[in-house]
Amino acid sequence: MMKKSIFATSFSDWLPNILPIAVTLAILPLCATLARAQEPNRPPAGRPAPQIMLNPEDIQIFADPKTTIDANRPDVPHGKLELVEYDSKTVGTRRKMMVYTPPGYSKNKKFPVLYLLHGIGGDENEWGRFANPNWMLDNLIAAGKATPMIIVMPNGRAQKNDRAEGNVFASAPAFAMFEQDLLKDVIPAIESRYSVSKSREDRAIAGLSMGGGQSLNFGLQHLDTFAWIGGFSSAPNTKAPEELVPDPNAAQEKIKLLYLSCGNKDGLIGISQKMHAFLKEKEISHIWNVDSYGHDGTHWKNNLYYFTQRIFMKTTPLKSVFQGKFLIGGTLSIAALDGKNPAELNLAQTHFSALTPENSMKPDAIQPSEGNFTFERADRLVEIAQKNGATAIGHCLVWHSQTPRWFFQGANGQPVTREVALERMRKHISTVVGRYKGKIKQWDVVNEAINDGPGVLRDSPWRRAIGDDYIAEAFRAAHAADPKAILIYNDYNIELGYKRPKAIELLKSLIAQKVPINAVGIQGHWRMDNPDLTEVETAIKEFGALGLKVMITELDMGVLPSRYQGADISTIERMTPEQVSVMNPYTKGLPETVAEQQAERYRQAFDIFLRHKEVIGRVTLWGVRDSDSWLNNFPVRGRTEHALLFDRSGAPKPAFFSIQKAAASAK
């Protein structure tokens, strides 16, 4: 089959001059090419050149996949691609569609269906010119990355002569008319001939260009029929967002996936940008993937590849997978608690059986000045946890960082006495823990008290003000305020050889003094190459042997290098392009190979947690989606880190599925 790009360049160079003739003459069978043969900034036929204006959020979230994603592989089971005819009452003719049935298709199972629509110059065969959707799905299904599904590629030009002939733009009304043909003829024909599920959650609609506009128009206006919707470089036939989504709340409820994509060299990008801006304003979750292509087949093939991996997913909530093993938790950001990040909140509510406030209960957030407590966000977290049957976690009471200076200073600015500091610490703890008595079940009481350098204890302002016993005193105060709460000592790197002996020494001394401590928290800000997970297992065993529970309190698995060799640069903006490419290599999506290595590393970590589930009380991820992770600003600001279980679009990553597998195969 002729590949688009070969045509596009030479053809579109002379296209504008001879357009009227061209449209009616030699190119007639190739009109599909016409609209999309534009080079960057070349107008669609008969329209003025659109200026491409890119906004900061017009970024690529899914890395360009390999070109072989739709290769015909002899080593995987193949489905079937067949031409099917149906009688259309709408058009009054017998019409054609291509239908893919997956390997393993059988009458004994009900399959979901993707209706996949073509562009203005195409027909039921057009998708086959840009991609091999059948082989792509064979490959994805074999890899366990897509649900076995039927793909229906109908002819979206609902008129008697439905070939792409003549002035293809003149058939635009027939593309609108196809709504009736699809709903009244195509879908019934498919549902009577194939073994398919007839629920909306098992129907998806997507398309390219004119077919993208159709998919948005038909999908959004028939949410009782379709739950998964995709528009790839949608054309000007796309109706106004206000018309397609008159009731944003109802839409948000019903849409399982709304996927918009466009190339940043596509003159039609304004249409998708407008839709994205509307959805963003109305807080409707959606994917917006802007890659570097134009109005072309590579864009459509790549985005079909990502779309099909995200539809018909029936993911089991993590909290049910880990039920009876240990709590599986996540954090809620300030934005999520303020109702400004519904995607993060929804995922957290669905998947986590424990919820920690990422920042809202840190000392500077909850008592910014003496006696001035701000509980609104913490209250909200507790309420959300209760509503969802999740365990609320308190983080954190006593810490050297994000703690206001007033705790340690008198009115004269001089350091306060031990008595005053102790009194302020006790007041803070009794007020905060007391307020949530019986509601917040676990507390990070003291955070990061162990020194990285020589000696056991960090030279923290609390220690300077009170003395070494500030740790014991903090635990005693927390226990007095809520005797049933699980009290945790939380720190980073205490699983590693350089810090573990110090942690053991501190914990042993607290236990010997009968300090009310129940658990030790290993933060778990890990990376692909660090730590050696055997150290983690040793730490779990050694801490468990002290009679303490072990919590993994802040888990993430960074894939970026930790520091730039020989440079101390705090923000990406100050780096040279060479430094950026080393320090921030995955700005256009996480390559699949890296995502899979990360999944393997998460699986290894969870295999250890599961082996020691008698000791592990909880594993909490420090964030929900990659986009919301603190690591995007640590240790270098402005990076694109990919450390969590959900990607920037909110879709589960390979790591999500690998830890599910680990849980399922654990005893």
**Is 448 one of the catalytic residues?**
yes
Among 237, 289, 523, 553, binds ligand FER (CB under 6 A): 237
* Distance in angstroms (rounded) separating the CA atoms of residues 376 and 338: 9
**Is 236 an interacting residue with respect to ligand FER (CB under 6 A)?**
yes
Nearer to ligand FER, 8 or 229 (CB): 8
**Is 253 one of the catalytic residues?**
no
**Is 44 an interacting residue with respect to ligand FER (CB under 6 A)?**
yes
| Closest CB 221 distance from ligand FER, rounded Å | 18
* Distance in angstroms (rounded) separating the CA atoms of residues 329 and 609: 14
**Among candidate residues 548, 535, 468, 470, the one with its CA nearest the CA of residue 507:** 548
The residue type of 440 is: I
* Distance in angstroms (rounded) separating the CA atoms of residues 213 and 209: 6
| Contact predicate 211/36, CB 8 Å | no
**Is 15 an interacting residue with respect to ligand FER (CB under 6 A)?**
no
The residue type of 111 is: F
Non-local CB neighbours of 411 within 8 Å, separated by 6+ positions: none
| Closest CB 293 distance from ligand FER, rounded Å | 13
Phi then psi dihedrals of residue 594, to 5 deg: -70, -40
Number of residues that bind ligand FER (CB under 6 A): 12
Nearer to ligand FER, 211 or 521 (CB): 211
Q: Which of 448, 473, 495, 542 is catalytic?
A: 448
* Distance in angstroms (rounded) separating the CA atoms of residues 525 and 521: 12
Nearer to ligand FER, 36 or 428 (CB): 36
Q: What is the radius of gyration, based on Cα positions, of the chain?
A: 29
* Distance in angstroms (rounded) separating the CA atoms of residues 528 and 523: 16
| Closest CB 162 distance from ligand FER, rounded Å | 15
Nearer to ligand FER, 301 or 549 (CB): 301
Beta strands 80-88 and 93-101, pairing class: antiparallel
Nearer to ligand FER, 120 or 440 (CB): 120
Phi then psi dihedrals of residue 431, to 5 deg: -70, -50
Non-local CB neighbours of 634 within 8 Å, separated by 6+ positions: none
**Is 35 an interacting residue with respect to ligand FER (CB under 6 A)?**
yes
Nearer to ligand FER, 211 or 558 (CB): 211
Among 30, 81, 172, 480, binds ligand FER (CB under 6 A): 172
Query: Beta partners for 87?
Result: 94
Tokens of 439: 């509601």
Contact region with ligand FER (CB under 6 A), list: 78-86, 98-106, 231-239, 642-650: 231-239
* Distance in angstroms (rounded) separating the CA atoms of residues 224 and 221: 9
Nearer to ligand FER, 49 or 313 (CB): 49
Ramachandran quadrant class, 623 (left: phi over 0; alpha: psi -120 to 50; beta: rest): left
Quick note: the x/- pattern for ligand FER over 76-115, rule CB under 6 A, is: ----------------------------------------
∠ Cα 654 660 666 (to 5°): 135
Nearer to ligand FER, 23 or 327 (CB): 23
Among 119, 330, 363, 394, binds ligand FER (CB under 6 A): 119
Q: Which of 124, 358, 542, 554 is catalytic?
A: 554
| Closest CB 182 distance from ligand FER, rounded Å | 16
First to last CA, the chain: 52
* CB neighbour class for 338 (10 Å; exposed up to 12, middle 13-18, buried from 19): middle
* Distance in angstroms (rounded) separating the CA atoms of residues 315 and 260: 22
**Is 47 an interacting residue with respect to ligand FER (CB under 6 A)?**
yes
**Is 193 an interacting residue with respect to ligand FER (CB under 6 A)?**
no
Contact region with ligand FER (CB under 6 A), list: 128-136, 230-238, 279-287, 575-583: 230-238
Quick note: the x/- pattern for ligand FER over 197-216, rule CB under 6 A, is: ------------xx------
Among 27, 63, 120, 137, binds ligand FER (CB under 6 A): 120
For binding to ligand FER (CB under 6 A), which residues are involved?
Answer: 35-36, 44, 47, 119-120, 172, 209-210, 235-237
Q: Among all residues, which ones are annotated catalytic?
A: 448, 554
